[in-house]
Amino acid sequence: MKLTGSTELVYLLAIAPAVFWGVSSVLSKRGLARGGGTHQATLVVIGLDALIYWGILLVRRGMGAFSGLSVITIGVFLVAGALGTAMGRLFVFKGIDRVGASINSAVISTRPLFAALLAAGFLSESVTPSIAVGIVVLVVGLTVLALGQGGDVEGWNAYEMLFPLAAASCFAVGNVLRRFGLQSSSMTVFEALTANATAAVLVLIAYTTVSNSWESLHAPAESYRYFVASAVLTALSVLALFTALSLPNGQVAIVDSLAATSPLFTVAFSSVFLRDLEQVTRGIIVGAFIVVVGVVFITSGPLLL
């Protein structure tokens, strides 16, 4: 059956974050290698993204932003921002620093497994056999990627994979909450983005104050250039992701799985731009191929309906 325009749009919007996140991970690794820190990177990326979203929202809606929305609806996105963005991003940068951009991206992309199960349990979304097989294959491919003896050239310990795994869990919960909020209310994508980012910034400010970590901002200027560029790409990524989740055909299992193909792009970009910091092995290449097979299964479901 021929794909409808809305389905094609969901696929396009869901794959865009994978590309942007692939580049963003490489930029973040470079920023960390230039003397930057994980806490600094999180503050810069999320803080700048919040400013971008607020600027766009005020231009589009003015003082009418968030009008008519219930406290519960706004609360859903505040929780999603605190957990799925603030905590998730902290774990992301920790993972990039410890195990490398390619391995970190691979482990984080196991989140479709968590997201699909949560969406089925709390959103009553159906998981077709094709999507189920695709998710399993995808996870297998990502596991091969993670065990491909690559990543940070300085080496890493197995327990450090807990950082990207924690990020995957946070992102999965966040995406399910966002899908629920976008489908059960009249909140626009930009309102959702802004509420999400604002909550993340507030959580980070509180965490930074309590942990007395403001000195992390005293980093080389060169590192900021990489993190600012990463922030812009992250803003575009989340915008595409939120838009995909807001569409009628934007099931979490499909959107999150396609967005989770970012390791393919991270590996490709790392092999070219991070040769002095990371190594891309045969195992990583094989894992990337298996990921593609998983994506084929996932995207074939709507074609067969």
d(CA 236, CA 192): 14
Mean pLDDT by 10 residues, the chain (305 residues): 63 90 91 92 92 88 77 84 89 89 78 71 72 81 72 73 88 81 79 86 90 90 95 89 80 74 83 83 79 71 43
Residue 302: per-residue pLDDT: 45
Angle at 240 between CA 57 and CA 181, to 5 degrees: 70
Tell me if 189 sits within 8 A of 235, measured CB to CB: no
Strands (E), 117-240: 151-152
Q: What is the pLDDT, as a whole number, of residue 165?
A: 85
Using left for φ > 0, alpha for ψ between -120 and 50, and beta otherwise, residue 62 falls in left
Specify the pLDDT at position 123: 63
Please tell me the predicted confidence (pLDDT) of residue 24: 93
The whole-number pLDDT of residue 227 equals 95
What local confidence, expressed as pLDDT, does residue 304 receive?
37
| Closest alpha carbon to 96 in 82, 111, 81, 108 | 108
pLDDT score of 223 = 95
Structure tokens at 36: 């930057």
Residues with Cβ within 8 Å of 6's Cβ and at least 6 positions away in sequence, in order, are 247, 248, 249
